[in-house]
Amino acid sequence: MEHLSIIEIKDLSFSYTGSARKSLNRVNINVRKGEFVVVTGPSGCGKTTLCRCLNGLVPNFYAGDLEGEALVCGLDIRKQSTGALSQHVGFVFQNPENQLFSLTVERDVAFGPENLGLSRKEIRRRVEWALKVTGIEALRDRAPYELSGGQQQRAAIASVLAMQPEIIVLDEPTSFLDPKSSKEILQVISNLNKELGITVFLVEHRLDLATRHSNRIIILDKGAVALDGPPEDVYNEEAHLIGIGLPKVTLLFHLLRHDGIETEKIPVTVEQGAEELRRILRK
């Protein structure tokens, strides 16, 4: 049966074994196939825990008390092994070093498909494709540990893509990268979404870079969804955005608003900010 939502999270609460606090508290999120969702929020608000639910690490690997429901590609995370889920959900970690362990990039990318028991021809095809769409064909024989952070993160994404997932979940993939590499990685992710239709669930605090690729931002606070909507709406809710790394241009227009300079819509990209300034200056 075709599911309207590729991710269906209903009243999901979770506390890790031994912890009195709920790391997730009645979370409700539906994601449609092909969406690009950015999730952000202060440190400790539950972003990583939410990602772990999507690939079944919670509750299969991290034990605890899980209430509510989470269906990913129609599969109940409680009833599926992480292995079964990994064919649908690719997971990219904050630190690519945790994801790369082979002697060459090519071996790392081939690892997933080899474990699926696919034919050699199909493995080849997937490896070539994954190296190509992440732009690292030239790095195939290099050792992952001698690559730059940005190259490593591309290799990590390629190794996940070789599994041909429907969803790719990325937990702060730019944390260890400089601004230029961060921008490039987000562009790679955006292309996967736009050109291949892969659903993207991206946890990111660099909203200045991420916002232009997404039309949906979810703000988590203390394990609960505080805001969920288009950036233009979410970034308007100043009172709920304390501690969030908003785009500088949005902050600028929040300040101007305090001076009585109103905009119809709060700018979320520098281009929109420039447009808004031209309009104000023309008046």
Ligand X SMILES: Nc1ncnc2c1ncn2[C@@H]1O[C@H](COP(=O)(O)OP(=O)(O)O)[C@@H](O)[C@H]1O
Among 13-21, 98-106, 133-141, 225-233, the segment contacting ligand X (CB under 6 A): 13-21
Nearer to ligand X, 47 or 212 (CB): 47
Q: Nearest approach, Cβ of 190 to ligand X (angstroms)?
A: 22
Q: Using the rule CB under 6 A, is 243 a contact of ligand X? A: no
Stretch that binds ligand X, among 16-24, 129-137, 156-164, 260-268 (CB under 6 A): 16-24
Residues binding ligand X: number (CB under 6 A): 13
Whether the CB-CB separation of 53 and 9 falls below 8 Å is answered with yes
Question: 258: burial class by Cβ within 10 Å (0-12, 13-18, 19+)?
Answer: exposed
Q: With respect to ligand X, which residue has the nearer C-beta, 41 or 165? A: 41
Helix axis angle, 248-258 relative to 270-282, nearest 10°?
30
Q: Least distance to Mg ion from the beta carbon of 182, Å?
A: 16
Among 240, 262, 267, which Cα is nearest to 251's? 267
Smallest separation, CB 5 to Mg ion (Å): 24
Write the DSSP string, 12-77.
Answer: EEEEETT-SS-SEEEEEEEEETT-EEEEE-STTSSHHHHHHHHTTHHHHTS-EEEEEEEEETTEET
Out of 5, 13, 30, 48, the only residue in the binding site for ligand X (CB under 6 A) is 48
Interface map 28-47 toward ligand X (x if CB under 6 A): -------------x-xxxxx
Contacts (CB under 5 A) with Mg ion, residues 93-112: none
The answer to whether residues 69 and 76 touch, using CB atoms and an 8 Å cutoff, is yes
**Helix segments in the chain, DSSP class H:** 47-54, 57-60, 82-86, 105-115, 120-133, 149-161, 179-196, 207-210, 231-234, 248-258, 270-282
| Non-local CB neighbours of 61 within 8 Å, separated by 6+ positions | 52, 82
Hey, which residues does 218 pair with through a beta bridge?
39, 228
Q: Between 149 and 223, name the residue whose CB sits nearer to ligand X.
A: 223
Q: Which is nearer to ligand X, 47 or 154 (CB)?
A: 47
- Closest CB 3 distance from Mg ion, rounded Å: 27
Minimum separation from the CB atom of position 165 to Mg ion (A): 20
Q: Is residue 225 a contact partner of residue 255, using CB atoms and an 8 Å limit? A: no
Asked if residue 23 binds ligand X (CB under 6 A), the reply is yes
Q: Which of 77, 159, 153, 145 is nearest to 115 (CA)?
A: 159
Q: By CB under 6 A, is residue 49 in contact with ligand X?
A: yes
Copy the structure tokens of residue 92.
Answer: 């990219």
Smallest separation, CB 171 to ligand X (Å): 7
Minimum gap (Å) between residue 43 Cβ and Mg ion? 7
Please, which of residues 178-197 interact with ligand X by CB under 6 A? none
Q: Which residues inside 30-89 make contact with Mg ion, applying CB under 5 A?
A: 47-48
Applying CB under 5 A, the residues found at the interface with Mg ion are: 47-48
Contact footprint for ligand X (CB under 6 A): 16, 19, 21, 23, 41, 43-49, 62
